[in-house]
Amino acid sequence: MLPGSSRAPACPGAALGAENAKFPDWGRTFWEHVQLAIDLHHIRKIIVMDHRDCGFYKDIHGKDLAADPKEEFEIHAVQMRRLRGDIARRHPKLAVELLLMGLDGKAETVA
Residue 1 has pLDDT above 50, yes or no: no
* Spatial contact of 46 and 54, defined as CB atoms under 8 Å apart: no
Cα–Cα distance measured from residue 51 to residue 72, given in angstroms and rounded to the nearest whole number: 10
> For position 10, what pLDDT does the model report?
74
Specify whether the CB–CB gap between 18 and 84 falls below 8 A: no
pLDDT at 43 over 80: yes
Strand 107-109, strand 45-51: pairing: unpaired
What is the per-residue pLDDT across 56-97, written as a single tens digit (0 to 9) for each?
999 999 999 999 999 999 999 999 999 999 999 999 999 999
Cα–Cα distance for residue pair 97/47, rounded to 1 Å: 5
Task: Report domain extents, the chain.
Answer: 15-109
